[in-house]
Amino acid sequence: MSEIIVYAIVLVALAVPLGAYMARIYRAPLARWEKRLFGEHEQTWREYAVAVLVLNMLGIAVVYVVQRGQALLPWNPNGLPAVDPRVAFNTAVSFGTNTDWQAYGGETTMSHLTQAVALGVQNFVSAACGMAVLVALVRGFTRRHADTIGNFWVDLTRSTVFILLPLSVVLSIALAQQGVPQTLAGQDHAALVEQHAAQTVAVGPVASQIAIKQLGTNGGGFYSVNSAHPLENPTPLTNFLECLAILLIPTALCFTFGRLVGSRRQGVALLVVMALLVVPFLALTAWAESRGNPVLSSLAIDQHLGNMEGKEVRFGVPASALWATVTTAASNGSVNAMHDSFTPLGGLGPLVLMQLGEVAFGGVGSGLYGLVIFAIVAVFIAGLMVGRTPEFLGKKIEAYEMKMASLAILVPVAAVLIGAACACLADETYTKALGNPGAHGFSEVLYAFSSMGNNNGSAFGGLTGSGTFWATAGGIAMWIARYWIIIPTLAIAGSLARKKSVPPSAGTLPTAGPLFVVLLVGVVLLVGALSFVPSLALGPIAEHLGG
Partner 1 sequence: MSHVKPALLVLAALTLLCGVVYPLTIAGVAALFPDRVPELVGQAFTAPGYVWSRPTATKYDATTSGATNLGPTNPALADAVRQRIAALQAADPGARGPVPADLVTASASGLDPDISPEAAYFQAARVARARHVAEAAVRDEIRHHIEDRTFGVLGAARVNVVELNRALDARFGGSLVP
Q: What is the footprint of partner 1 within residues 246-305 (CB under 8 A)?
A: 292-296, 299-305
DSSP reduced 3-state for 262 = coil
Which residue's CB is nearer to partner 1, number 234 or number 272? Answer: 234
Question: Min. distance of Cβ 467 from partner 1 in angstroms?
Answer: 17
Q: At what angle do helices 236-260 and 2-27 cross, to 10 degrees?
A: 40
**Rule CB under 8 A: is residue 361 a binding residue for partner 1?**
no
Contact status, residue 123 vs residue 95, Cβ threshold 8 Å: yes
Which residue's CB is nearer to partner 1, number 222 or number 469? Answer: 222
**Beta-carbon count within 10 A of 510 CB:** 12
What span, in angstroms and rounded, lies between the C-alpha atoms of 144 and 33?
28
Question: Min. distance of Cβ 408 from partner 1 in angstroms?
Answer: 23
Number of residues that bind partner 1 (CB under 8 A): 121
Question: Min. distance of Cβ 107 from partner 1 in angstroms?
Answer: 6
Which residue's CB is nearer to partner 1, number 37 or number 421? Answer: 37
- Work out which of 234, 472, 484, 495 binds partner 1, going by CB under 8 A: 234
**Rule CB under 8 A: is residue 338 a binding residue for partner 1?**
yes
What span, in angstroms and rounded, lies between the C-alpha atoms of 356 and 351?
9
**Rule CB under 8 A: is residue 44 a binding residue for partner 1?**
no
Which residue's CB is nearer to partner 1, number 6 or number 71? Answer: 6
- Work out which of 34, 42, 47, 428 binds partner 1, going by CB under 8 A: 47
**Rule CB under 8 A: is residue 69 a binding residue for partner 1?**
no
Question: Min. distance of Cβ 95 from partner 1 in angstroms?
Answer: 12
Question: Min. distance of Cβ 198 from partner 1 in angstroms?
Answer: 10
Residue 198: its H or E element: strand 198-202
Q: Taking CB under 8 A as the rule, which mask of x and - marks residues 387-416 in contact with partner 1?
A: ------------------------------
Q: Taking CB under 8 A as the rule, which mask of x and - marks residues 417-446 in contact with partner 1?
A: ------------------xxxxxxx-x---
Q: At what angle do helices 366-386 and 236-260 cross, to 10 degrees?
A: 50
Which residue's CB is nearer to partner 1, number 313 or number 506? Answer: 313
Q: Which residues contact 360 (CB under 8 A, 6 or more apart)?
A: 273, 274, 277, 278, 329, 353, 367, 371, 524
Interface residues for partner 1 in 510-529 (CB under 8 A)?
A: none
Burial pattern 263-272, b for ≥16 Cβ within 10 A else e, equals bbebbbbbbb
Contact status, residue 219 vs residue 458, Cβ threshold 8 Å: yes
Measuring CA to CA, how many Å separate 482 from each of 280, 366, 415, 471?
27, 9, 11, 17
**Rule CB under 8 A: is residue 179 a binding residue for partner 1?**
yes
Residue type, 133: V
What span, in angstroms and rounded, lies between the C-alpha atoms of 242 and 178?
12
For 145, which DSSP code?
A: S
Which residue's CB is nearer to partner 1, number 157 or number 263? Answer: 157
Which residue's CB is nearer to partner 1, number 228 or number 521? Answer: 228
Which residue's CB is nearer to partner 1, number 191 or number 386? Answer: 191
**Rule CB under 8 A: is residue 201 a binding residue for partner 1?**
yes
Following DSSP, what letter does each residue of 473-487 receive, concatenated? HHHHHHHHHHHHHHH
Residue 444: is it exposed, middle or buried by C-beta count within 10 angstroms (0-12/13-18/19+)?
A: buried
Interface residues for partner 1 in 447-506 (CB under 8 A)?
A: 460-462
Question: Min. distance of Cβ 465 from partner 1 in angstroms?
Answer: 13
Question: Stretches 96-104, 178-186, 260-268, 448-456: which one binds partner 1 (CB under 8 A)?
Answer: 178-186
Which residue's CB is nearer to partner 1, number 391 or number 444? Answer: 444
**Beta-carbon count within 10 A of 86 CB:** 19
- Work out which of 12, 20, 173, 381 binds partner 1, going by CB under 8 A: 173
Measuring CA to CA, how many Å separate 463 from each of 333, 426, 428?
15, 14, 11
Which residue's CB is nearer to partner 1, number 370 or number 494? Answer: 494
Chain centre distance of CA 474? 16
What span, in angstroms and rounded, lies between the C-alpha atoms of 328 and 533?
18
Question: Stretches 154-162, 354-362, 380-388, 406-414: which one binds partner 1 (CB under 8 A)?
Answer: 154-162
Question: Stretches 258-266, 332-340, 496-504, 506-514: which one binds partner 1 (CB under 8 A)?
Answer: 332-340
- Work out which of 30, 35, 71, 309 binds partner 1, going by CB under 8 A: 309
**Rule CB under 8 A: is residue 87 a binding residue for partner 1?**
no
Give me the helices (H) in 28-160, please.
32-38, 45-69, 85-96, 106-109, 112-113, 120-142, 152-158
- Work out which of 16, 65, 117, 268 binds partner 1, going by CB under 8 A: 117
What span, in angstroms and rounded, lies between the C-alpha atoms of 308 and 126?
34
**Rule CB under 8 A: is residue 327 a binding residue for partner 1?**
no
**Rule CB under 8 A: is residue 9 a binding residue for partner 1?**
no
**Which sign does the torsion angle of CA 21, 23, 27, 32 carry?**
positive
Question: Stretches 171-179, 268-276, 356-364, 520-528: which one binds partner 1 (CB under 8 A)?
Answer: 171-179
DSSP reduced 3-state for 241 = helix
Which residue's CB is nearer to partner 1, number 335 or number 524? Answer: 335
Question: Stretches 52-60, 348-356, 401-409, 420-428: which one binds partner 1 (CB under 8 A)?
Answer: 52-60
Question: Min. distance of Cβ 223 from partner 1 in angstroms?
Answer: 5
**Rule CB under 8 A: is residue 223 a binding residue for partner 1?**
yes
- Work out which of 80, 87, 93, 118 binds partner 1, going by CB under 8 A: 118
- Work out which of 90, 214, 217, 307 binds partner 1, going by CB under 8 A: 307
Q: Which residues contact 100 (CB under 8 A, 6 or more apart)?
A: 94, 123, 213, 218, 219, 220, 333, 334, 457
